[in-house]
Amino acid sequence: MSESNVEDRSQATMEKIVSLCKRRGFVFQSSEIYGGQAGAWDYGPMGVELKNRIQRFWWKEMTQLHDDIVGLDAAILMHPRTWEASGHVENFTDPLVDCKKCKQRFRADQIDPAKLAKKECPECGGELTDTRKFNLMFKTNIGPVDDGSGLLYLRPETAQGIYVNYKNIVQSKRMKIPFGIAQVGKAFRNEIVIKNFIFRTCEFEQMEMQYFVKPGEDEKFFNYWREQRWAYYAKLGVRMDKLRWHQHGPDELAHYAKDAYDIEYEFPMGFKELEGVHNRTNYDLSRHQQFSGKDLQYIDQESGNERYIPFIIETSAGLTRQLLMVLCDAYEDQKVGDKGNEDDWRTVLHFHPIVAPVTVAVLPLMKKDGLAELAQDIRRELKDEFATDYDQGGAIGRRYRRQDEVGTPFCVTVDYQTKEDGTVTVRFRDSMEQIRVKREELEATLKKAIKEYKRG
C-alpha cells in the first residue's frame, strides 16, 4: 500500500464514525426498532460516559476554575411570554419552500437562487411553493384541554432560563458584576435539515455561560471570553490546527447580537460551527424587563449605586456536537504492522484520558491459575479513582485492539510474573509502549500519565 493510500485509509469519515458508534455502544438511532426517529439519537453505555465527561470537563472549566461563575439548572418548560420577549416567536424562523410534485421541503436559502427565482424544485424540477417563514420552536400543551390556552414551547436554547433567573441569582448569591451563570441542558429545534449524524438534531444539549458586565466593558470581556474558549479546546487535547474562528457578517448576526464569532472545527464534511461567542448587548434583559414589568436593573454599589441593565457576553457550545467533534478528532485507522493482512491495522480513538469513557482496563493474561482473581482484585483497587473495565475473553492482542477502539488510554495486564513479584504491565494506547510497575505504584503511575498526557 502506498503512503498516500495509508494516509487515506487512516482518515476519519462520517461513515466510519457512525459505524463505530453503533458497534461499540456510543450512539444509537432513536427508536430504531420502529424504523428510527429522525432528528433524535440515543447515547449508549460508551456515549453517555463520554458525554458526561465532556460536560464535567466544561463545568469544571467554567465554574470551579472561575470564581465569579455560578451554576443553574432551569426548567425546559418556561412561561410562553419568555419566547415573545426573547424574539424567538417572531424571529426564530427558517425560510422554507415545498415542492408541489415530490413533496420535499427545502430551506430557501440553500437552493440555487436561479432555481428559486423560477420556483423550480432542485430534486425533481417540479413547482415550488412561495417561500414561507417556518418557526423552529416545538410547541406543546400544558393541561388536559388542547385548545391553545395551554400553549408552551420546548426551549430552543438554554440561555433564557439564565436571563429570567438573573435577579434571583444576584440576590441569593450576592453576585457582583462582572459575573457569570453557567448551565447545561436539553434544547429543541424543529430543524428541517438534519443530516451528518448528531451534528444537527432536533433534540440536543447545550453548555451555555452568560457573563453579565457593565455597559462599555462588553468588548473587553468579549475578547477575554474568546481567548478563554479557544484555550479550553487546547486543554481538551483537540488538534488545534483543526479549529478556526469565523466572525459573523451583518447578514448572519442573530437578532440579539452586536458581534459574534464561531469556533469552527474541520469535521469530515468540512469546517462547521462548534460553538459561538456572542455579544448579546442588553437586548435580552431589556426585553424581559419590558415584557415582565419587573425591574431588572443592576444596582452597582462599586459605582455609587449606579443603575443599569447589564450587557451579556455569551459562550454557547453544543454538548452533543462537541461529542461528535471529540470522536472525529480522536479517530484514527492506524497501520501498525506489515503482515499484509487486516491485522496490520488498528482503529484507535485518541481521547484525552480526562474524557475517555474507560480510563483503565484490567486484563488477565489467562483466566486460569488465579490470574483472573488477581486481576479482579487489582481492578477493585483502581475502581474508586478511575473508570475501569475488565476483559478476560480472547487473545491479549485482540483485547488491546478492543480497548483501542473505544479509546481506553491505559491497559493493565496481569500475568504470571505478577504472582511472583507483584508487578503488572501498563500498556499505553497511543504509543503501544509497555512498562512494568509495582502494583502499589500503579495508581500514582496512572495519575501522573493522565496529568502529563499529550497525544502521541
Q: Which residues bind ligand GAP (CB under 6 A)?
A: 157, 159, 189, 191, 200-201, 204, 206, 208, 273-276, 314, 316-318, 320-321
Minimal distance in Å, beta carbon 12 to ligand GAP? Answer: 19
Dihedral class, residue 206 (left if φ above 0, else alpha if ψ from -120 to 50, else beta): beta
Judged by beta carbon, residue 183 or residue 423, the one nearer ligand GAP is 183
Q: Quote the strand ranges of 116-172, DSSP E.
A: 132-135, 139-141, 151-153
Judged by beta carbon, residue 320 or residue 408, the one nearer ligand GAP is 320
Minimal distance in Å, beta carbon 268 to ligand GAP? Answer: 16
Comparing C-alpha atoms, which of 416, 366, 418, 370 is closest to residue 393?
366
Judged by beta carbon, residue 273 or residue 381, the one nearer ligand GAP is 273
Minimal distance in Å, beta carbon 242 to ligand GAP? Answer: 15
Comparing C-alpha atoms, which of 335, 383, 340 is closest to residue 361?
383
Minimal distance in Å, beta carbon 258 to ligand GAP? Answer: 14
Residue 418: half-sphere exposure toward Cβ, Cα within 13 Å: 26
Minimal distance in Å, beta carbon 156 to ligand GAP? Answer: 7
Judged by beta carbon, residue 276 or residue 357, the one nearer ligand GAP is 276
Comparing C-alpha atoms, which of 148, 166, 137, 155 is closest to residue 79?
155
Cα(107)–Cα(38) distance, rounded to whole angstroms?
A: 17
Judged by beta carbon, residue 164 or residue 274, the one nearer ligand GAP is 274
Nearest residue to the partner ligand GAP, using Cβ: 318
Judged by beta carbon, residue 44 or residue 87, the one nearer ligand GAP is 87
Instruction: Collect contacts of 115-122 with beta carbons under 8 A, ≥24 apart.
Output: none
What is the H or E stretch that residue 87 is in? Answer: none
For the record, the C-alpha cell of 89 comes out as 416567536
For the record, the C-alpha cell of 355 comes out as 474524557
Judged by beta carbon, residue 139 or residue 383, the one nearer ligand GAP is 139
Comparing C-alpha atoms, which of 19, 56, 21 is closest to residue 42?
21
Minimal distance in Å, beta carbon 387 to ligand GAP? Answer: 26
Minimal distance in Å, beta carbon 157 to ligand GAP? Answer: 4
Minimal distance in Å, beta carbon 187 to ligand GAP? Answer: 7
Compute, in degrees rounded to 10, the torsion defined by CA atoms 323, 275, 168, 223.
140
Diameter of the chain by CA atoms? 82
Cα-flanking dihedrals φ and ψ of residue 247, to 5°? Answer: -85, 135
Minimal distance in Å, beta carbon 283 to ligand GAP? Answer: 12
Judged by beta carbon, residue 49 or residue 208, the one nearer ligand GAP is 208
The three-class DSSP label of residue 116 is: helix
Comparing C-alpha atoms, which of 72, 93, 103 is closest to residue 170?
72
* Torsion sign over Cα 159, 161, 162, 167: positive
Judged by beta carbon, residue 312 or residue 411, the one nearer ligand GAP is 312
For residue 178, whether the previous peptide bond is cis, meaning omega lies within 30 degrees of 0, is yes
